Amino acid sequence: MFAETTAMDQATLLSGYMLGVVELTLRLGGAALVLLRRSTQPSRAIPWMIVVLALPFIGLAVYLLFGESSFGIARRRRYLKSLDRLRRETSTWVETGPREPMTLDQHDVQVAAAALSLDAAPIRPGNDVGVTCDPDVMDAWFSEAIAAAQSDIDITTYIYEDDRCGRAVAKGLAAAVRRGVRCRLLVDGFGSSRFLRSSLIAQMRSDGIETQVALPGSLLRALFHRIDMRNHRKIVVVDGSLGFTGSRNIVAPEFLAKRAYAPWVDCLLRVRGPAVTDLHRVFAVDWNFETGEVVSIDPARAVAVGECPVQVIPTGPAYDSEAVAQTLHAAVQVARHEIVLTTPYFVPDTAFLRSLAVAARRGVVVHLVMPKRNDSHLVALASRALLGPLLEAGVRIWEFPNGLLHAKTVTVDGVLAIVTSANLDRRSFELNFEVTAAVYDNRATESVRAMQQGWIDASTRYERAEWSGRTNWARFQEGLAGLLAPLL
């Protein structure tokens, strides 16, 4: 009996020892993996180091699922193949139609050059640009464009909802198909998950509208790449000559799925002219990646009809650069008088925070406008944790109370406007497929700036004293969320 007990104790000790060795190996191996993969990003490496060291089994699994910006080798190769084919076509494009000579502010030239070196399209002069934040105007623009379509309508959206807006677009597309227009719709597998389970998508397919899911997720896919990478773009192209982009999804502003935060306040950019071809190219790459079908693009359809220079900047995990992040850095650094930024989610990296603070300290008036109530509580806490240095530097922070300010806009010195699908956070900068339009035109920038001023006028200013007077519990929550900020 004693011998049996001793043997059992020895077996227990041995198994405990082996478990300890495995645990230590996972801790050290996980930490080494983080250091190897994040050696150039210490602000993001430290939180992951804490996770894998504190929770060696779960932490390493979570890191492998969500810590790597891995798009997947095969997927990336396939995406770049689509991109390269269209780049070769781009090199032969010839702009058509009359246009005025393009003159740019020297600071605009620097921003445009930075974007061009990071996979952006060239600046396309000769565009006519409109911008609105009125949802009724947006719906009218969509309705009129779809009703006037003669050959093709191509749409990419992160969220498509079976609501009054989604049904109106579906009805218009069905009518377009009946008169011979080809309609293609690409929706994100996560953002449009409710739509993909609805009866509306079945009806649309029955009506002849070609629908495709972008970046569908599954447990099998999780073995090879991150499953939370999303196609967050919003693009509508009609007949290759009229394009829309911005923050507006195909969803009504009352957004029934998150009605407690409604209305959603968006910004939509309408473009006619050569830049539409670049928007169409972004759609074509995504569609070819998901379906294998080559979308024919004819730049001759996007005739120059105005004087506004526009540059389209696509970004995503298949690209080699963080073009939207670095373009925004460049815009902040060249600002001389004023920068206005609006975003629903503000969790940028340390470098961008410092750029904003330095701009304010050198005399640039910096406005940051965010929603007072955010649909992501964790992001709201993480954002609040980052505001202290900005307030101390003199950045003017505004909280918009009338719904969720979802518009992602930047204006610089009244001469440059940026309208994008990207939020000011790591997810948009690294993990999501996004599209940005930089508009190098005073008149168009004035329109965007006027919208921004309307949001500022409706907002309350978040003061430094208010930030300093937070309760200890609020500080604790924000500090904890702040530690996770590099991971969001």
**Catalytic residue set:** 232, 234, 239, 406, 408, 413
8 Å CB contact between 418 and 438 = yes
* DSSP character string of 376-427: -HHHHHHHHHTHHHHHHHT-EEEEE-SSEE---EEEETTTEEEEES--EEHI
Within 126-163, residue ranges assigned H as helices are 135-148
Which helix H or strand E contains 94, and what residues bound it? none
Burial class of residue 314 in the structure, from the number of CB atoms within 10 Å of its CB (0-12 exposed, 13-18 middle, 19+ buried): buried
Helix axes 472-484, 377-385, angle to 10 degrees: 100
User: For residue 365, what are the β-bridge partners?
Assistant: 338
Total residues belonging to the chain: 488
Going by their DSSP bridges, the two strands 404-405 and 409-412 should be labelled as unpaired
Distances (CA, A) of 84 to 75, 115, 232, 391: 14, 18, 21, 44
Map tokens 């409604």 to a residue.
262
8 Å CB contact between 187 and 216 = no
Burial class of residue 442 in the structure, from the number of CB atoms within 10 Å of its CB (0-12 exposed, 13-18 middle, 19+ buried): middle
User: For residue 46, what are the β-bridge partners?
Assistant: none
Question: Cα(284)–Cα(281) distance, rounded to whole angstroms?
Answer: 5
Map tokens 């949802």 to a residue.
135
- Count CB-CB contacts under 10 A for residue 167: 15
Q: Report the sign of the C-alpha dihedral through residues 424, 425, 430, 433, in that order.
A: negative
8 Å CB contact between 231 and 129 = no
User: For residue 130, what are the β-bridge partners?
Assistant: 270
Closest CA to 342 of 413, 418, 402: 418
SS3 150: coil
